[in-house]
Chain A
Amino acid sequence: MDSDNPFPPPSSRRHRRAPKWADFTFLLLTGWGAVLVLALLVALFVGFYIGSQTAIHQLGFRFLTNTVWLAATDNPVLPGNVYGVEPVLVGTLLTSALALLLAIPLSMGAAIFLTQQAPLSIRGPVGQLIELLAAIPSVIYGFWGLIVLVPIMRANIEPALASGLYWTGWFSGTPTGLDVLTASVVLAVMVIPTITAISRDSMAAVPVSQKEAAISLGATDWEVTRNAVLPYARGGVFAGIILGLGRAMGETMAVTMVIGNPSYLTPYPTSLFSQYQTIASLLATRFAEYSSPLELSSLIEAGLVLLLITLAINVVARGVLSRFQRGRGVGRE
């Protein structure tokens, strides 16, 4: 009987399925966003590739090996118009590597402290403060570097480093404060909040059971961190480091303000106190006053090189990340 059935069939008049065009419209509305972003990415690469054609044809492979960037002039002594990306590539990689070298220990320490050691009451506020640092615009960091950090480096830190570590050969030259070292320090300061935030999140995601198991076996705090937390959080920490590296390599304003902007680049910086350029700072300083169409095209090609390197690092990072995560999956509780 109908009255006994608690689930009467729906009447076809009142419960009609949505028309097919509604689903299709929804697909279109959401899909065009994805297509647009992909199209922008393709357009970016195509635009850079087209812009660098002049340089690719005229300089070819020498663009990667030339060790000078000389603007075209009517100066018969230095007619110039020779461009090579090798010095600025070295500058980019060196400043980023130094920045990571300075930032990783501090970030890891901060993340471990916040997730393992710190009293519960301060974990939240301190964590949020660190994440706030990541939101500060880079030009502010550059300005701070110029006004505050450069005089301190020039007057105190760099002379101390020079007198103590001159034998390494990396601290020669007059300390001016506007050099590779200061740029690396500024980059490290910018990159620390990024790495700390992501590491903190992935360490906080470690199951408590892992840590409890280690503690119950008599592990010290450090052994708990090393054996129970870090292996589990490896992937996240690595992702954070790659993100920080990407930020360091692309950073323009902050680096341009403190790296010295010399006009004549040696093939590699002879000392940490040398004035140098990165690809980003070269683009920032030369773009308005390129001296010839070849220089403009070379600048675009340098930008393309930076684009490709950043892309390659991200691809490699994803590969390593997926390997980490496969390994982590085995270590389940």
Chain B
Amino acid sequence: MAPGPTESGKPPTDEIVHRRGGGHTGLYVVVAIVVVLAVILSGAYATGYLKFASKSTSSCSGPASSVVPANSGQPAPAAPSPAFHPESGQTVSGAGSTLVQPLMATWETAYTNNTLYYSGVGSTAGINDILGKTVDFGASDAPMNPTQRSLITTPGGIDTIPESAGAAVPIYNLPTVGQTLKFTGAVLAGIYLGDITNWNNSLLQVANPGVVLPNACIIVVHRSDGSGTTFVFTSFLSKENATWNQTRGFSTQPTVFPIGIGAKGNGAVTTTVKSTPYAIGYVDINYALSNGVAFGAVQNPKGNFILASLTNIASAINDSNVKFPAANGDWYNVSVLNAPGAQDYPMATLTYVLVYANLTAADVGTSPTYITHAVGEALVDVLKWMVNETEGQSYSAAAYYVPLPAWVVASDMATIGSIAKTIPP
């Protein structure tokens, strides 16, 4: 029985002293951590690295919205999945743009000569895939840029073939506003730069007379992956706003956006905006129309506010009088933005399929063979089917895509014909 201090006044034994002394280690550790943190934080405040925020720092002090709109929190509408169809012929695989993904899904079911397989991974990933020869065709809304073109090693290069057309539209979620909003390019640039932070900003109000805009912070949503839709949107902002042009520029990569929430793919941007009150985003028109999301009218060079529709996108493509370079040439400057017509939608875009111009040359050095004879025939067949007015293009309108004008179809057919001559024996 260990003698305690009350027994004889002797000091406690070594055992008890040691245990008492050892029992405070945890306390010392915690105190040390708190002291270190306090030193770091106070140093940071002292040097101005961290700052106290005053209550009115942000001009955007919108009220906490406890009004939850009816459609918030719902899971994303399922991406159209290809209906089951029995394997027929060869499998032609493609990957890339999410802009064209719903149309590709429709085509997967409608095209029965062979099996078409497409996955929407974003335009940049699609370009990486065709450069790496991991897919039969890539798809991108942004043409290949000079750096990507310099990575092509196959003689003959890669052909750029427009297979559909659409447009970037600004979508928004304003529970209290029923009218269609009007945006100028400068306003969109200001929002995405972070200069315009509140929905009732005077610039927005001036463009929308008579609309009661709420006093709420704008929640900016953009793409988090390499996107052709981003390329179209930021190209437009660069043309419309000098500050954007000088400080951000245009690109497929999301680093061009200084603020905002990132979402992966057109579908995720749609879902995020749809479930976040007071959010704004940009997607292709087909996502806005098929998901019932409100989108705004955009001012074109003639000063008119145009609400995107298949008609005014088609007229924009025709009026822009764009000249295509050689199929395997540099398409980086091909643009249908800011078309000159009075009723043209300013943010129209073509979307492209990327295929090797010389399939036989593309097979050199690949093992297993990149494009076999059978796959080559199937690839040419599906490309012809896609751009044909009575076949692939006939599904466009119902899926909210713009059918290709006849002159684009003619140009595409010529390109595909040249590719057909290079099918490996």
Contacts and interface: CB of A to CB of B under 8 A. Distances in A.
Q: Which size bracket describes the interface of B in this complex?
A: 35 or more
A166 B124 contact: no
Interface string A247-279: 000000000000011111000000100010000
B215 interface: no
A256 to B, nearest CB: 9
A75 B251 contact: yes
Contacts of B264: 261, 285
A71 interface: yes
Interface stretch (A109-117, A170-178, A198-206): A170-178
A77 B22 contact: no
A23 interface: no
16 contacts: A73-B252, A75-B253, A78-B249, A80-B253, A155-B65, A166-B54, A169-B51, A174-B62, A174-B218, A263-B224, A263-B254, A263-B260, A289-B128, A327-B25, A330-B18, A331-B19
Nearest to B129: A288
Contacts of A176: 219, 261, 276
Given A74-B146, A155-B65, A263 B257 contact: yes
A70 B249 CA distance: 14
Given A78-B248, A80-B255, A151-B72, A285 B275 contact: no
B293 interface: no
Given A80-B255, A151-B73, A176-B219, A75 B249 contact: yes
Contacts of B62: 174
B66 interface: yes
Interface string B84-121: 00000000000000000000000000000000000001
B75 A147 contact: yes
Contacts of A330: 15, 18-19, 22
Contacts, number: 148
Given A172-B57, A176-B219, A331 B22 contact: yes
A51 B370 CA distance: 27
Contacts of B251: 73-75, 78
A167 interface: yes
A73 B250 CA distance: 9
Contacts of B247: 77
Nearest to B263: A261
Interface in A151-183: 151, 154-156, 159-160, 162-163, 166-169, 171-178
B121 A151 contact: no
Contact of B64 (A75, A175, A234): A175
B245 interface: yes
B222 interface: yes
A174 B15 contact: no
B354 to A, nearest CB: 16
A77 B246 contact: yes
A123 interface: no
A49 interface: no
A291 interface: yes
A323 B26 CA distance: 11
Interface string B121-160: 1101100100000000000000001110000000000000
Given A77-B248, A323-B25, A261 B276 contact: no
A231 interface: yes
Interface string B346-389: 00000000000000000000000000000000000000000000
Nearest to A231: B23
Contact of B253 (A71, A169, A262, A323): A71
Contacts of B68: 151, 155
Interface in B275-315: 275-276
A71 to B, nearest CB: 4
Contacts of A178: 261, 272
Contacts of B25: 323-324, 327
Interface string A59-93: 00000000001111111111010000000000000
A78 B252 CA distance: 12
Interface string B15-59: 100110011011000000000000000000000001111110110
A174 B58 contact: yes
Contact of A155 (B19, B55, B64): B64
B217 interface: yes
A73 B255 contact: yes
A69 B253 CA distance: 12
A166 B58 CA distance: 11
B247 to A, nearest CB: 7
A230 B286 CA distance: 61
Contacts of B23: 231, 327, 331
B256 interface: yes
Interface of B: 15, 18-19, 22-23, 25-26, 50-55, 57-58, 60, 62-66, 68, 72-73, 75, 121-122, 124-125, 128, 145-147, 197, 217-219, 222, 224-226, 245-264, 272, 275-276, 332
A85 B320 CA distance: 44
Given A70-B255, A77-B249, 10 more contacts: A74-B145, A169-B50, A169-B53, A174-B217, A174-B218, A261-B224, A261-B261, A262-B259, A262-B261, A327-B22
A74 B150 CA distance: 12
A264 B183 CA distance: 25
A204 to B, nearest CB: 20
Contacts of B224: 261, 263, 285
B57 A151 contact: no
B119 to A, nearest CB: 11
Interface string A271-299: 10001000000000100110100000000
Interface in A98-117: none
Contacts of A76: 249
Most buried by B among A156, A171, A262: A262
A147 B73 contact: yes
Contact of A291 (B15, B124, B217, B222): B124
Nearest to B332: A74
A173 B58 contact: yes
Nearest to A226: B23
A166 B75 CA distance: 32
Given A155-B66, A176-B276, A263-B254, A288 B225 contact: yes
Nearest to A143: B75
A148 B258 CA distance: 28
A210 to B, nearest CB: 11
A169 B49 CA distance: 12
Contact of B258 (A74, A160, A264, A289): A264
B217 A77 contact: no
B222 A263 contact: yes
B210 to A, nearest CB: 26
Nearest to A80: B255
